[in-house]
């Protein structure tokens, strides 16, 4: 299977890329691959390691400096390190670039089915564990292997492949213009809360085939979910209800959208399978693309090399995206994979049922593939940010298209965009899976009206298409009342985001 837009020749890895030399018998990667299968008779298993001596991936110390923690673990253990998850449950964190690729590309050794986890089988994971929303098995392609994975993943991939790239850009142009219109006259804005957190969901709702009226409320619901407020469960109910009404409407009113393509796919997905995969696509695409947009804008505004090159025409926005995907992947970790049998990885003894965490951020700065972190990586897309193998992100090109077009349009509308605070004042919030830029305050010359050419493109929106080409999604349909969530629960002690969502993700 391939992900959308794979006709782009720029996606090929650059010549000599160390991450793609595994086929070279004399290459350094081949030696590493050979070492992965060497026996490690003296290496203890996870259950033989003293818990008191292992580092936690959660808590204030770990979240204060995740990158520093990864390097400490690499220095002590090498490519694969034992760590503790919530509840002090042990797991393996894969730090090496090559070892990550090995885990991603060999599902026969490392399954996506979380029911294999020894901790589950031994009843060690509490019902309210903050791990549950991420690893509790669900009937989705992300937890499937083999034939069932091919059936579900094939429908999702084919559905996303049917998205028209030109349609994506039209929607991005339209919504970027609308968002800038809201704050452009003030000369100041926070690009995280006023731009990055809005654009992906507004575009994705249109690609999914939802009524335009749903967009703004779904943006708020998605933000509420990601921030783990007391109303997060009600916000999820809103997302599910809106998707359910969309599926019902598409039975009698199909269109050139993702929902219709999933419903009509030869894999014969049930309505529930369609709904659940739409929810995964919608929320996952939103969260990762928000981070990608925010971090790329931050790099463009704070790194003089990028700003000078962009202004001088020597660097493109895609170049900036590539660099960010290496340096600040939208997801730092992916949980997880589970060993199907006893094996060896990175010199560590992995036992059947052990959990492995894919260290995307750590693998992207592996000294084996990046001995000089200051060296630009323009055009090099062999990073781990979108994964690899059968579970590689199927919507990566749509996410890139939204980020690239949105940033390009924003810089066109506000060409003198500049950071409004010292870079040292920017802050992040971190959790064990990802890192989020809190705010990106900027200043610019107030713009009361958009440039005529961009405003015209924005007002045309989805209705305007290339002659003879099928539109990406249907024109706006008649007004459909948005589904309001149930009343928010009474305020109580605030729980973490993963803990808050445990119930609804396991239903």
The reported pLDDT for the residue numbered 368 is: 94
154-170 pLDDT, tens digit per residue, is 999 999 999 988 889 99
The reported pLDDT for the residue numbered 474 is: 29
The reported pLDDT for the residue numbered 29 is: 43
Report phi then psi at 187, rounded to 5.
Answer: 80, 0
The reported pLDDT for the residue numbered 376 is: 83
The reported pLDDT for the residue numbered 336 is: 86
**Assigned token pair, 21:** 């030399």
Q: Domain residue spans in the chain? A: 9-505
Compute the distance between CA of residue 299 and CA of residue 309 in angstroms, rounded to an integer: 12
Q: Which residues of the chain have pLDDT under 70?
A: 1-41, 226-230, 307-314, 450-507
Q: pTM for the full model?
A: 0.81
> Residues 507, 272: contact at Cβ < 8 Å?
no
Compute the distance between CA of residue 14 and CA of residue 67 in angstroms, rounded to an integer: 26
Pick the CATH number of 9-505 from 3.10.180.10, 1.10.630.10, 3.40.50.300, 1.10.10.60: 1.10.630.10
DSSP state of 196: I
Look at residue 155 and give its three-state secondary structure.
Answer: helix
């Amino acid at each position: 299977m391939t992900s959308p837009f794979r006709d782009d020749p720029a996606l090929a890895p650059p010549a000599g890329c160390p991450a793609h030399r595994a086929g070279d018998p004399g290459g350094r990667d081949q030696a590493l691959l050979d070492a992965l299968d060497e026996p490690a008779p003296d290496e203890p298993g996870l259950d033989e390691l003293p818990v008191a001596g292992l580092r936690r991936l959660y808590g204030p110390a770990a979240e204060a400096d995740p990158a520093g923690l990864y390097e400490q673990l690499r220095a002590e253990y090498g490519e694969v390190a034992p760590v503790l998850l919530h509840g002090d449950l042990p797991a393996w964190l894969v730090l090496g670039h090559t070892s990550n690729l090995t885990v991603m590309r060999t599902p026969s050794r490392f399954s996506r089915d979380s029911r294999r986890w020894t901790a589950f089988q031994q009843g060690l994971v509490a019902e309210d564990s903050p791990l549950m929303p991420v690893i509790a098995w669900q009937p989705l392609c992300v937890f499937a292997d083999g034939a069932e994975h091919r059936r579900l993943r094939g429908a999702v991939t084919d559905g996303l492949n049917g998205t028209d790239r030109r349609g994506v850009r039209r929607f991005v142009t339209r919504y970027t213009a609308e968002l800038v219109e809201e704050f452009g006259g003030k000369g100041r804005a926070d690009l995280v809360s006023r731009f990055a957190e809005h654009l992906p969901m507004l575009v994705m709702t249109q690609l999914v085939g939802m009524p335009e009226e749903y967009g703004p409320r779904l943006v708020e619901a998605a933000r509420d979910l990601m921030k783990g407020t007391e109303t997060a469960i009600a916000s999820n109910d809103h997302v599910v209800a809106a998707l359910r009404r969309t599926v019902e409407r598409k039975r009698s009113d199909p269109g050139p959208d993702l929902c219709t393509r999933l419903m009509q796919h030869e894999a014969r997905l049930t309505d529930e399978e369609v709904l659940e995969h739409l929810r995964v696509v919608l929320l996952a695409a939103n969260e990762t693309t928000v981070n990608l947009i925010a971090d790329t804008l931050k790099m463009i505004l704070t790194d003089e090399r990028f700003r000078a090159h962009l202004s001088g025409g020597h660097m493109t926005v895609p170049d900036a995206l590539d660099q960010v995907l290496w340096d600040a992947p939208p997801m730092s970790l992916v949980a997880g994979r589970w060993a199907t049998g006893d094996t060896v990885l990175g010199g560590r003894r992995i036992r059947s049922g052990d959990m492995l965490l894919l260290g995307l951020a750590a693998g992207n700065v592996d000294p084996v593939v990046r001995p000089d972190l200051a060296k630009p990586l323009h055009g090099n897309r062999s990073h781990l940010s979108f994964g690899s193998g059968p579970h590689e992100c199927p919507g990566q090109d749509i996410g890139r298209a939204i980020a690239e077009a949105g940033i390009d349009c924003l810089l066109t509308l506000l060409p003198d965009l500049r950071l409004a605070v010292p870079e040292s004042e920017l802050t992040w919030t971190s959790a064990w899976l990802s890192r989020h830029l809190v705010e990106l305050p900027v200043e610019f010359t107030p713009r009361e009206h958009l440039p005529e050419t961009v405003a015209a493109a924005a007002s045309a929106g989805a209705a305007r298409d290339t002659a003879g080409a099928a539109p990406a999604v249907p024109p706006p349909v008649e007004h459909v009342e948005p589904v309001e969530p149930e009343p928010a629960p009474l305020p109580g002690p605030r729980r973490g985001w993963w803990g808050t969502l445990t119930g609804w993700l396991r239903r």
